[in-house]
Structure 1
């Protein structure tokens, strides 16, 4: 499919069919994903594909408690996700059935291959992810090209020590995300809702719109 079409329809899938994703489909996606941009061509990203029912269940059991806590905070209004009720319900259904997805891909990264430059700024450090997440997004797009849906979550990173033990991830590697992978049970979205370009692009200084709003 066309790249732009893939970009505009690679949303977060919450409902997957039971059909397994063949090895050759995954291979093709991993092969394309590895060309994602990264600092110094260090190539820190590694993947663990989890298909074993017992391991998927163990990951799902780690996922559910923090999700339910998050869901409770949404219900009380302590957290405002700005999402429709049906979206929150779909996310809850996803959490309850995570162990049933055909595969969970655990995205790992070698710490020696990361070079965060924002650790001394007194705020959340995010720069290290620049050598991880472009490659991960390549993977999602490459899977979408083959009709495979994905859902990226970082909630399981809260349980990194347990995940590391479960999957025998060696010292020196971190978990950066988990991706549920499978064929979509309800098809792909034809239109994703996102903020318009006019609201998110500034010229020269933040707050100075580059493009005039066409609203109203």
Structure 2
């Protein structure tokens, strides 16, 4: 698959067929994903592939109350996601059927392999994720190339102690995301809705559009 097509259609898959994803497909995806950039080539990312039904159910049982609280916030207006009602409805279906996905990949990261340079700025620290999430996106693209859908969620990271115990994750590692994978029950999206380039790129200063009036 051509790279740009994969990037434009990887989407978030919330409906899966029950067919298992073969190990060789997973291996090819992990093999490509590991080349994602990370600071100092420390390679902090580790993966736990969860296929066991009891463990998937345990993860789903941890996830669902967090999602329902989030969904309640959307309903009463205290959480603003900017999503269409259909998207929220699909996300609720995803949460209700999380244990039914073919596999859940738990993204772990070694703390000693991260180098956050923004933790003293008095705001949320995000820089450490630069050594994690490019690898995760690489995996999703490598799966998309093989016709496998995926969905990244970080809600379950709030229950990290329980997840660590369930999956025997050692000290010194954090959970950074959970990725559901499987063959899509519906077709991949042909067109994802995203903000136009003209609205997100600035020239020299934040308030000066780079492509204002450009014809591209």
Task: Give the TM-score, by structure 1 length.
Answer: 0.98
DSSP 3-state at the match of 1:49: strand
1:182 matched residue in structure 2 = 182
- CA distance in 2: counterparts of 1:213 and 1:119, whole angstroms: 38
1:4 matched residue in structure 2 = 4
1:25 matched residue in structure 2 = 25
1:155 and 2:142 matched: no
DSSP 3-state at the match of 1:104: strand
1:52 matched residue in structure 2 = 52
Shift of 1:40: 0.6
Shift of 1:214: 7.1
Residue-by-residue CA offset, 1:84-125 (whole Å, 9 max, x unaligned): 110000000000000000000000000000000000000000
Distance 1:74 1:213, change over 3 A: farther
- CA distance in 1: counterparts of 2:139 and 2:154, whole angstroms: 16
1:63 matched residue in structure 2 = 63
1:81 and 2:81 matched: yes
- CA distance in 1: counterparts of 2:144 and 2:29, whole angstroms: 9
Gaps of 5+ in 1: none
Shift of 1:213: 4.7
- CA distance in 2: counterparts of 1:24 and 1:68, whole angstroms: 35
Alignment of 1:80-99 (within 5 A): 80-99=80-99
- CA distance in 2: counterparts of 1:115 and 1:84, whole angstroms: 36
Gaps of 5+ in 2: none
DSSP 3-state at the match of 2:184: coil
1:202 matched residue in structure 2 = 202
Number of paired residues? 215
RMSD: 1.0
Residue-by-residue CA offset, 1:1-40 (whole Å, 9 max, x unaligned): 0000000001111111101000000000000000111111
**Runs ≥4 residues deviating over 6 A:** none
- CA distance in 1: counterparts of 2:102 and 2:75, whole angstroms: 30
Residue-by-residue CA offset, 1:128-148 (whole Å, 9 max, x unaligned): 000000011000000000000
Task: Give the TM-score, by structure 2 length.
Answer: 0.98
- CA distance in 1: counterparts of 2:213 and 2:39, whole angstroms: 36
2:172 matched residue in structure 1 = 172
